[in-house]
Amino acid sequence: MSNTVIYRNCRIFTGSETLTGKAIVTQGSLIRSIVDEDNVSENAEDLHGLNIAPAFIDLQIYGANNHLFSAHPGTEAIAHTYNYCLGGGCSQFMITMATNSIEIFLQGMDAVRDYWQQGGKGLLGLHLEGPYMNPVKKGAHIEKYVKKPTEEEVKMLLEKGRGIFKMITLAPEICDDKIIHLLIDNGIIVSAGHSNATYEEAQKGFAAGIPTATHLFNAMSPFQSREPGLVGAIYNNPGVKSSIVADGVHVDFVSLKISKQVMGNRLFFITDAVTNSDQGGYQHIFKGDRYTLPDGTLSGSSLTMMQSVKNVIQHAGIPLEEALRMASTYPAELLKTPTRYGKIAPGFAAEFVVFDDTLTVKQVIC
């Protein structure tokens, strides 16, 4: 059959179980079946006993290789980011812009459109982190652009970014339910973050339909004895996911381990990765295991998705299969795409990460 490729001689992690003695049959961009290895022809692709899993998905990354997307909002920055993602086992990503002028956001939307029109791969869309956040929890974001949303502006962003603007991080306590419903009704993944919400304010946002939160613990009201805050609302809401930055800098690995025990399959990885930049509103300086602003404020990670997987296995005692799900299956569950990602099963995307037993990425197939 035309466009059929078969992968054999590998240990297959499907997203739910690990299989040996099996082969993956793909046709075009989709998985057709998983079959007994004995039943495939000699000319199947031999993966030489390596591991294969669903390729990873990063819903929050700002640029790579000295091309910060907000400083260089063009196709070149997106292409550099895609190549960086592939190096860490990730085939699909959400290019992200931190709080900025609306003009810069619109330039970013044009760049996403151009990238797709030029045949660029791997890009799910644009994630706007801000500007509708609580200035008390702005973190590294530029305060002069932080604002409360107006219905008029949100409608303009939805119209200009139709099919491009796919995700937003906002503080639920500064957004009316009407704004949240408007975004959700237009297919936007709304994520609670950069928020000083009380437990009640956070629960109100989740009740309005917010399905996830951004980088657990960072730039959010903490879990305390008399005020559970946004962290407590996430913990206590079985329908809500959250991303986390698993570098040991943004969050202590003990806090990550406890959160995993509480949240189970609701916790997933983002890299939150930035890159060196001395232009534009965000000037990031590499400090060995993190990026900071010139004043020392933590401003982003230097992670890859596979490094996140390695880190939680080594430092938080999370098993390999569960760490792989946190990088692929769980973020995929948030996506509103016709193609299904995050599992090796018939009808899902034929996008795989191939790696050895030291968790070194050998190949990304897509």
Residues serving a catalytic function are 272
Query: What's 222's DSSP letter?
Result: -
Between the alpha carbon of residue 289 and those of residues 43, 202, 255, the distances in Å are 44, 32, 19
Rounded CA separation 177/335 (Å):
22
- The CB density around residue 192, as the number of other CB atoms within 10 Å, is 28
Tell me whether strands 4-13 and 18-19 are parallel, antiparallel or unpaired.
antiparallel
Tell me whether strands 90-98 and 56-61 are parallel, antiparallel or unpaired.
parallel
Q: In this structure, are residues 309 and 327 in contact, taking their beta carbons and an 8 Å threshold?
A: yes
- The CB density around residue 336, as the number of other CB atoms within 10 Å, is 11
Rounded CA separation 59/167 (Å):
9
* 3-class DSSP string for 110-157: HHHHHHHHCCCCCEEEEEEECCCCCHHHCCCCCHHHCCCCCHHHHHHH
Residues in Cβ contact with 67 at an 8 Å cutoff, skipping those fewer than 6 apart: 76, 77, 80, 81, 275
In a 13 Å sphere around the CA of 327, the CA atoms on its Cβ side amount to 33
